[in-house]
A and B are shown apart, each in its own frame.
Chain A
Amino acid sequence: MSEGIFWLASYPKSGNTWTRAFIANLRHEEPNEEVDINTLHTGAIASCRGWIDEVLGFDSADLSHDEIDLLRPAIYRWHAREANDGGYHKVHDAYTYLPNGEALIPAEATAGALYIMRNPLDVAISFAHHSNCSIDQSIENMGTPDFTFCGNTRRMTNQLRQKLLSWSAHVESWADASEINRLVVRYEDMRNDSLATFTRMCSFLGLPDDEYSVQIALDNCAFDKLQQQEKEKGFSEKAPHHESFFRKGKVGDWQETLTPEQIDRIVNDHHTVMKRFGYLDGSGNPVTALPLDRVS
């Protein structure tokens, strides 16, 4: 029996795929070669229809989104108990509760949740590229309290509906989910202080956390290497309209890309959470990311 599932939770475009590439490389038997980005078999995403249907024995496609959500906790409990896949499962759903009071992601199925967050000023840009929409639209989406992925009811989607909520509510839902064991990391620390941050992530996830292993895996999933692989052979997780998935990965891109109005709107929508996680300074001005020791 396994001891539960490790979730890799994040709002989209916050460093989840990079984390999965890191884990895949860390667990790779041949540390001298990079793992192919098209075979990052770290574990199914929580909203993967196939992963759900394999436990159901009938088609989830004949159920409504709300009906499926009611079945999800039992499915995750089953996977946690029976499937010894040692998987690290990505999840973009916010940490929400069902109408019956049960958590969508049950605590008893969870070994831990690594929550990866990124400055919403940078997320807005990356999310716009990913969704093939304007930056203003992605800012609007990030501020929408009931924003969802795959919520279309007129056709079948490969993934189940995911309630993302607003960016702030997404962060708070996971960061404050006191019934589960969790570690919150910031993308900016993963970029700027990689070794220390990934070492903490490894310790939390029960992965090898010695300096040698972490550094080799980090080298193998360096952003330029992921970009190069995508250029050479494409990336199956890229959205169709999207020019490339591994685009810039840059910290602080907002300083060059966003207009003052766009920055104001994001700060206005998310100031409480931005302040809490060091994306606003003492005077309430946006910053890339305050050093961790200055984040209360």
Chain B
Amino acid sequence: MNMADELLRINQLYVSFHTDLGVARAVEGVSFTLNRGETLGIVGESGCGKSVTALSIMRLIQQPPGKIESGEIYFEGENLLHLSNPEMRRIRGNKISMIFQEPMTSLNPVFDVGDQISEAVRLHQGLVTEEAIQKSVEMLRLVGIPSPAKRVHDYPHQMSGGMRQRVMIAMALSCQPKLMIADEPTTALDVTIQAQILNLMQKLKEEMGTAIILITHNLGVIAEMAQNVIVMYAGRIMEWATAEDLFGTPRHPYTEGLLKAVPRLDQIEKRRRLYIIRGIVPSLLDLPMGCKFNERCEKSFGKCFEEEPPLFEVSLGHTSRCWLHERS
């Protein structure tokens, strides 16, 4: 692999939250890499640690009660966790940007969209107000908002959900970042608007060469957009593979379970029973010993309850955290 292609490298990241009820280990030993221009999907259910991982990259974890216990996050060769606050501020919104799930609560209601989009270019590129507004209009046009010169003075509440999400994308891309993190960007949107937004993200990514980390619990969205996929559960990476390999030959019982449990439009059968992953996600304050998925796993055996498996390489570029692969 060409090292010059590597954009992000996360090494053994541990993040926890110190609460009154105990320490919640939200991210445990997460390591992965991302190349320039790659779209990486991170999928998992509530509480699996995907959002906390993303916020850690942006150093947006509130400490306390959160704490990045250990690990390294290398971006273009530099460890972000060692940067000073001013240095990190030069990266946020500039080299790495983020879009969130709820556009209404993520946009500032008292500033017009032009202001919010131009904030990043004024800060990072030193544009003055006039030029910054022009840039905002350009960005609005780029993200497909009609009559951008008029809409630039709109407030978030004057726009629909889909439009607000486009504004967020405009904000995120205004400084042409190398990496955009999208945390459930379309979950709150209607399905036809979701299709528009995903289409837009794909198009802009191709034009700008931006890498994307796409976080979602929606397997369909992952299949559409991601080249590589990480499956997380209870703070850990359970499987990491190309999208084709993950969906075609999943190698972890949790991934297999998720894929079987999702109703699919292309497999219409007469009211069959949906496959169930028995039980529920364990509380982060009270994780079982051994593999965290053990109690819910159909294929678990003795060792799964004693020791947590490491990630095994199942095939080239495909790893799985499961004792079933110990001899591979």
To the question of whether A and B form a pair in one complex, the answer is no
